[in-house]
Each structure stands twice: as C-alpha cells, then as structure tokens.
A and B are shown apart, each in its own frame.
Chain A
Amino acid sequence: GIQVEQSPPDLILQEGANSTLRCNFSDSVNNLQWFHQNPWGQLINLFYIPSGTKQNGRLSATTVATERYSLLYISSSQTTDSGVYFCAAGGGADGLTFGKGTHLIIQP
C-alpha cells in the first residue's frame, strides 16, 4: 500500500512566523488531503489537493504529483494554528493512508 511520511514531526515557532510542512508519498495518488486535528480529536479538512496549488487565507498547499510530495504553508502563524497536521493520500476506493502528523506549537 501507499506509504506517507510527514516532516518535521514536531515544530515550535513564535507567533507571526511562517512554516512549511512536507508530505512525501510512495506511489501515484488520486486523492491527497491535509487535515488539522483539533484538541477534541476531530479532523478538520484544510485542503483536497491531489495536484496543483490552492490557497485559503493564511494557508496554502501545493502538490507535485509527479515528484510525489505535497507542502502545506502557514503564514503569519497564530496560537490557534497549534495542533497536529495530517497529510493523507490514497490511490483508489480504499481509505486514505495517513502520515504520523506534524505537531505544531505556536508560542505567543
């Protein structure tokens, strides 16, 4: 099955800083999503991005499918951005395969 690796595993930044989270996947995919898991455990959809670039406010994401990686950018970080960010990828009808996540801490 597809392998998904995320880096870095942990990231501590000051408020206002920018960050880049990376996701590598082992095979071609037709689904790639980024999620933010809130403190109560719910996975919040950030981007559905099997290829290309999307932006939503201070967040943007780019997937280069031919090179099998995706990047999530967070600009002007706020303390509310803290939490775990997951990348998940899939190649077919089966469920997505998740990475282990990046634990982001934004300090005031």
Chain B
Amino acid sequence: DTGVSQDPRHKITKRGQNVTFRCDPISEHNRLYWYRQTLGQGPEFLTYFQNEAQLEKSRLLSDRFSAERPKGSFSTLEIQRTEQGDSAMYLCASRLASGGTGELFFGEGSRLTVL
C-alpha cells in the first residue's frame, strides 16, 4: 500500500497522559500536514512540514501539542498532559510541494479518546 499510513488507528488514554501519533506520508511527497477533526465538524488544520522544516505551527491548539519530522520522512504528533477536550480524530495528509497538482491525500486517521 503506497498511501498515507497512520498509527495507531485508535488510542484510549487517561487524562494527563502523553500520547504520540505517527504518520508515514506517500514516499515521494515532501509536504506533510496534520489536522484534527471533532465530531460533526470538518477537519481543522494544525501544522505542516516541507521536508523536515515545520513551516506553520501557529495553529497548533496549545503548547501541549507538538509535531516533528526529523528526517523529512515520517512525522509524529505528540499531545502532552491530555485533556478530555483532546478527544478527536487526528488526520495526516501529504502532497508534493511542486511538480504535481497540489492534491492532498489523507491517511485513515488516529482516533483519540481521553477518559
């Protein structure tokens, strides 16, 4: 499968714990995006990378949220000291920065439940 891959698909945690999600983009895509989707809403943009550089992070929801893409391939999204309001689907997407259409492709998402 050469699509965007996310892990884990489901995560249940207790309030106050840290969680980390991983995203493996389509192999030739150098842009990688993270989104959050809550129930009944459309996905909400959080941050994006071009290769290993994080070019936009002002829309991360709080300083408890951080993302990395250390070698310009896979990325991780970490939430520290989780709160019940963090329960949501976390979606990763990737695309080519140039030379392609700009079409964004999404993974299957990581669903977080904070108890």
Q: Which residues of A contact B (CB under 8 A)?
A: 4, 30-31, 33, 35, 40-43, 45, 48, 86, 88, 93-101
Contact between A41 and B48, CB atoms less than 8 A apart: no
Sampled A-B contacts (12; CB under 8 Å): A41-B89, A41-B108, A41-B111, A42-B107, A42-B109, A43-B106, A48-B101, A93-B97, A95-B33, A95-B48, A99-B42, A100-B40
Q: Is B105 an interface residue (CB 8 A)?
A: yes
Given that A94-B48, A98-B42 are contacting pairs, would A33 and B103 also be in contact in the complex, using a CB cutoff of 8 Å? yes
Interface size of B by CB at 8 A reads 28
- Give the interface centre of A35, A88, A96, A101 by most chain B CB atoms within 10 Å: A96
Q: Is B61 an interface residue (CB 8 A)?
A: no
Closest CB in chain B relative to A18 CB, distance in Å: 24
A43 neighbours in B (Cβ, 8 Å): 43, 91, 106
Those 9 A-B pairs whose CB atoms lie nearest each other, nearest first: A98-B42, A95-B45, A48-B103, A43-B106, A42-B108, A95-B33, A41-B109, A31-B102, A98-B43
Q: Which residue of B lies closest to A98 (CB)?
A: B42
Q: Is B50 an interface residue (CB 8 A)?
A: yes
- The distance in angstroms between the C-alpha atoms of A100 and B65, with both chains bound, is 24
- The distance in angstroms between the C-alpha atoms of A83 and B42, with both chains bound, is 13
- The distance in angstroms between the C-alpha atoms of A43 and B106, with both chains bound, is 6
Q: Which residue of B lies closest to A31 (CB)?
A: B102
Q: Is B31 an interface residue (CB 8 A)?
A: yes
- The distance in angstroms between the C-alpha atoms of A43 and B109, with both chains bound, is 9
Q: Is B104 an interface residue (CB 8 A)?
A: yes
Residue among A4, A33, A41, A99 making CB contact with B104, cutoff 8 Å: A33
Contact between A101 and B55, CB atoms less than 8 A apart: no
Interface string of B18-43 (1 = CB under 8 A from A): 00000000000001010101001111
Which B1-28 residues have a C-beta within 8 angstroms of A?
none
Residue among A88, A93, A99 making CB contact with B31, cutoff 8 Å: A93
A40 neighbours in B (Cβ, 8 Å): 108
B101 neighbours in A (Cβ, 8 Å): 48
Given that A33-B103, A48-B102 are contacting pairs, would A97 and B108 also be in contact in the complex, using a CB cutoff of 8 Å? no
